Each structure stands twice: as C-alpha cells, then as structure tokens.
Amino acid sequence: MFRAQKSQFLVAVLAAFFLLSQACHGSEYDDGIKALKERRFAEATKLLQRAWWTTQSDPEALYYLAVSEHYQGLTGNALTHYQILLKRYPTNQHCKAALQAISGISLKPGSVDAQNYPKAGQAAASPRVNTVQTYAPGSAGRSRSAAPSQYSLPEKATLFFEYNDKQLRVDCFINNRPVKMVFDTGATGVVIGKNQLEELGIKTPEGNPMGTSGGSALDGEQPFWMIKADLKVATIFRPGFPIKVISYNSGPPLLGQTFIQDFDYAIDLPAGAIRLTRKGASNPMHATLPQTQSSSVPFLWEGTKMVVNVEVNGRPYPMYFDTGNSAAAVTFAVSDLKKLNLNTDESEGAITGGVTGSGSALRFKVKRLKLGPIEKFDVTVLANYSALERPLIGQQMYEGYEYTVDNNAKLIKFIRR
C-alpha cells in the first residue's frame, strides 16, 4: 500500500513540473531539475544538494532535493528535507505536497528507513561479518572485513552509567574501540563525529555526504554520512549497525532510538543503572515498578521521538521526552514563548552546546511545570534562538525519579527514589 501511495505522489510531482516557477536559479538547480524530469535521480540529487548547500535559502531547491531523494529510496534524507521545508518555509507552495509525502513515510520504531536502518529480525537471521561500510549518494560504498561476529540481542541487559553534567553516559564499543556515549531518547539514531572516529582510530567515511543534519543547540546544519560498524553495549552486540557520522561533533556521541527502540527500559538514577528488557520477552518490563507506588505518563511516537504533555503554568503543551537534554529542565524555541505567554523580562543570555555546535539562548524561570506526578516551581528553563520542532523536556525535570518506558502500553512510569 505504501509503495502505491509513494508512486502516486511522486508521479504527480513529475507531472506538475510544467508549473515550476520561472524564478531565477543557479545552473546547478536548473540542471538538477532537468535530471529529475528525465528520471536521472542519482544525478539530480547531487546537483540539487549542491544548489541547496550553496545558499541554504532556496525552498525550491530544498523541496525538489527531497523529491529526488524520495525517488531514490533515500527515505530518511527525504523526510529530513521535507521537514526542514515545513519548519523554515511554512507558507511555501510545496508544503502541502511535502505533508502528503511525509504521511506516506513510515519511521515508526522497528521499521525506520529500510535502506539504512534494518529491522532487528532481519539482522538476527544469520551471523554477520564485522564490516565498516560507507554510503554516499550514487555510490555502492566501500567496506573492509574482519572475523565473523555473532549478533546478540538478549532478553535482559543492564547498562551502568556515569551521571556527568546531567547526562547518562554508558560504556560502548565501536569496532572494539571503547567510547562513552550518551543514552539519549531524543536522538533518532546513533551519532558520532568524524573527529571522534579519528580519535578511536576508525577510518572516517569518504565521498559525498548523504544529507545535512541539525541539532537543538545550533540554528544550522552539518553534512552527514552513514556507516555500518560493530556496536557493543554491555551484553548487546549489533554487528553492521547503522551509525550517523557528522563532520564535527562538539559533544559526546549519542546512543539514540535506533538502538533503544528494541527494548523497554527502566532508568534508576540512584543505582546508576538502565535495565533493558527486549520487547516481547517473557518477563515484561511493565512489572518493574510497583503499581501502587508509580504514576504513569502516556506518550505518543512522532517518528522515532516520544511526545509527552507537560503543563506549563497550567497549560498542557506537547514536548519531546529527551534524556539527552542536560541543559535545562525544558529547552523551548523562542517561537514557543508567545504561544505560552511566557515572561522573559528577567531573562539572561546563555550559550548552549550539542553535537552540531553551540548556539545562543535565553535563560529564565517558569512559575510551574508538571509532568505526571512530577511538579516543580520556579524552574530554570532555556529558549533557543534556533528552531525546534517541539520543546525538549530533560533530566533536570525528572531528576530523583526512577522511570520505566513501556513501549507496548506507551507509558512512562515514574517512582520517587
């Protein structure tokens, strides 16, 4: 059904090319549009990438880049660029078509981006070879092989973490090289920088990047590549696991939802432990917390991000549940302030940091925040000048609580410790 919807949408896009604006564009844009009309999608993607990267301000190039990537099957890249169009140019003529395209893309846990994020069941079918593979638009990739490695996704696992700067940092291994990564429910995948791969002695990806990627701290984007590498965390071993590599990572690497999504999990801050139970295991994670002592907060999946309702001065407001957000109890975008009628008269300037770099923000206090059983008053929060799809609710809000994420019931269960 999805293929039929995708085909109908993309055919309609090509059929509508005669309506293209006559506005002046660069030669790379014009050549890219010509290649797209002639269904030379790999060439069109390269040209339109250059056209977009040259200015970072041409919504036409951005939209048709997403269309070309969609045709190529680069679903994750297409989704990213459709979303950037909606975020930066909400009144653009192509937004309706972009929304239609997004509605036909499935990035739910367990089925994300079939090209770069294979399902666990497919990965477990047979032993894998320890490989690092680089993907770039229009290339078959390069790989190097070592000894065979056995896939391991146990029913239960415990990850011990260091609680540094209000981040959960766990010991991981990439191709047998030790590296500390942040357990980050707000990150869509596993992310590391080229600079960090070099420090680990792992060859960095080559060729053209697959797309661009932004973060919550910086109103800008970096090129990224995808590699496949062996990833080991405690007793969990995932050979040939997809990892996003950005050109420079100014923060610690991230262990995100593509790794986390196969498990229910409980985070016990006092014990410094994350207890994972594989989805569908015989002893479900929802029994971890006593029902008489725990309070539950429902969540919804939005792509690979968890959305919860948080009361801000009594008003419910949807936010991403983000264990990687250590900067404040909540990080808003400046655009959220007017919607919530928040007073920033006594705010001060702040610098925020993340994997993509640093950015500017306002630091101020909110009278009251409430997430399920957790209620706090006169809470320090941030408002980033960079665009955010939704505010991020982070560790400072639920510090002092153990919490379990039950993916089947779509509940986060909190208990005071």
What is the share, in percent, of the chain residues with pLDDT greater than 70?
A: 73
- Do 179 and 200 contact (CB within 8 A), yes or no? yes
State the chain's mean pLDDT as an integer: 76
**Quick one: average pLDDT of 318-343?**
88
pLDDT of residue 180: 94
- pLDDT tier at 379 (50, 70, 90 boundaries)? very high
User: Over 70: is that where the pLDDT of 110 sits?
Assistant: no
The whole-angstrom separation of Cα 81 and Cα 25 is 19
**Quick one: average pLDDT of 129-151?**
37
CB burial readout 373-401, b (16+ within 10 A) else e: ebebeebebbbbebebebbbbbbbbbeeb
User: Over 50: is that where the pLDDT of 69 sits?
Assistant: yes
- pLDDT tier at 177 (50, 70, 90 boundaries)? very high
Tokens linked to 415:
């208990």
Least confident of 25-34, 81-90, 244-253: 81-90
69 membership: H or E segment, kind and range: helix 59-72
Backbone angles phi, psi at 45, to 5 degrees: -60, -45
15 membership: H or E segment, kind and range: helix 2-15
Residue 137 or residue 280, greater confidence: 280
Q: What is the per-residue pLDDT across 191-222, written as a single tens digit (0 to 9) for each?
A: 999 889 998 989 898 888 888 776 544 445 77
Least confident of 3-7, 21-25, 368-372, 398-402: 21-25
Backbone angles phi, psi at 11, to 5 degrees: -65, -40
pLDDT of residue 141: 33
Helix (H, G, I), strand (E, B) or coil at 40: coil
CB-CB neighbours of 306 under 10 Å? 25
Number of helices (H), then strands (E), belonging to the chain: the values are 11, 23
| Neighbouring residues of 102: CB distance < 8 A, sequence distance ≥ 6 | 79, 82, 83, 86
Backbone angles phi, psi at 17, to 5 degrees: -65, -25
Q: Which amino acid is at 13?
A: V
Tokens linked to 308:
């919860």
**Quick one: average pLDDT of 307-322?**
93
| Neighbouring residues of 64: CB distance < 8 A, sequence distance ≥ 6 | 32, 33, 36, 44, 48
The whole-angstrom separation of Cα 206 and Cα 329 is 38
The whole-angstrom separation of Cα 402 and Cα 274 is 10
The whole-angstrom separation of Cα 265 and Cα 286 is 9
pLDDT of residue 308: 94
Tokens linked to 377:
């008053």
- Do 13 and 32 contact (CB within 8 A), yes or no? no
**Quick one: average pLDDT of 135-151?**
38
The whole-angstrom separation of Cα 396 and Cα 382 is 12
In 158-293, where does DSSP find H-type helix?
194-200, 257-260
User: Over 70: is that where the pLDDT of 294 sits?
Assistant: no
349 membership: H or E segment, kind and range: strand 348-354
- Do 324 and 185 contact (CB within 8 A), yes or no? yes
**β-strands 411-416, 295-298 pairing:** antiparallel
Long-range contacts of 72-75 (CB under 8 A, 24+ apart): 72/41, 72/42, 72/45, 72/137, 73/115, 74/45, 74/115, 74/137, 74/210, 74/211, 75/105, 75/107, 75/113, 75/114, 75/115
Ordered by where they begin, the domains of the chain are 2-103 (1.25.40.10), 120-273 (2.40.70.10), 289-416 (2.40.70.10)
User: Over 80: is that where the pLDDT of 168 sits?
Assistant: yes
- pLDDT tier at 223 (50, 70, 90 boundaries)? confident
